[in-house]
Amino acid sequence: MPFSSTAAITAGTPADPDAGAGHRIAPSPRGRRLARPLLALAALGLTLPAVAQPAAGIPSPEPAASRAAPARPDNAEAETSPEAPPLLSEKAFAEVLRSGDLEQLDAACRQSADADRKERLRQLQQRLLTIHPAPQPLPVVLANADVLLSCRAPSEAMTVLNRYGPAAGAERVQWLQLQWRAAAAGLDHRRAALALERLQREGGTPLDGLTLPLQRREDGTLVSRSGLELLATHLESRGFPRIAGELLAQARRPGLSGALRLQQAVALLAELPAPQRDALLETALEQAAAAGAWGLVAELLDTQAALPSERAVARRLRLSGRIDDAYGEWRWLRQDPTAAARVRQLEIQLRSPRDPGGHAADLPVVPTGTPPSTTPSP
In terms of C-beta density within 10 A (0-12 exposed, 13-18 middle, 19 or more buried), how is residue 222 classed? middle
Q: Tell me yes or no: is domain 32-49+59-64+93-214 CATH 1.25.40.
A: yes
Report CA Rg, the chain: 27
Q: How far is C-alpha 215 from the chain's CA centre?
A: 7
What is the b/e burial string over 338-358, where b = at least 16 CB atoms within 10 angstroms of the residue's CB? ebeeebeebeeeeeeeeeeee
Domain residue limits, the chain: 32-49+59-64+93-214
What is the DSSP track for 330-358? HHHHTT-GGGHHHHHHHHHHS--TTSTTS
How many C-alpha atoms does 338 have within 13 Å on its Cβ side?
0
Residue type, 139: P
What is the predicted pLDDT for the residue at 58? Answer: 32
What are all long-range contacts of 299-306, with beta carbons under 8 Å and residues at least 24 apart? Answer: 299/263, 300/259, 300/263, 302/328, 303/263, 303/266, 303/267, 304/278, 305/332
- With contact defined as beta carbons under 8 Å apart, do 63 and 181 qualify? yes
DSSP string of 148-202, one letter each residue: HHHTT-HHHHHHHHTT--PPTTHHHHHHHHHHHHHHHHTT-HHHHHHHHHHHHHH
Q: Is 272 left (phi over 0), alpha (psi -120 to 50) or beta?
A: beta
Are 236 and 244 spatial neighbours (Cβ–Cβ below 8 Å)? yes
Q: Are 54 and 60 in contact (CB under 8 A)?
A: yes
CA-based nearest residue to 31, from 58, 54, 56: 58
pTM for the full model? 0.66
CA distances 337 to 87, 304, 325, Å, are 65, 22, 20
- How many Cα atoms are found within 13 Å in the side-chain-facing hemisphere of 296? 23
Q: pLDDT 10s digit of each residue in the chain, 378 long? A: 444 454 444 444 434 434 444 443 344 444 444 444 443 333 333 433 333 343 333 333 344 444 433 444 444 444 455 566 789 999 999 999 999 999 999 999 999 999 999 999 999 999 999 999 999 999 999 999 999 999 999 999 999 999 999 999 999 999 999 999 999 999 999 999 999 999 999 888 889 988 898 887 878 788 899 999 999 999 999 999 999 999 999 999 999 999 999 999 999 999 999 999 999 999 999 999 999 999 999 999 999 988 888 888 889 888 887 887 888 888 888 888 888 888 888 887 776 666 666 666 666 766 655 555 554 444
3-state secondary structure of 226: strand
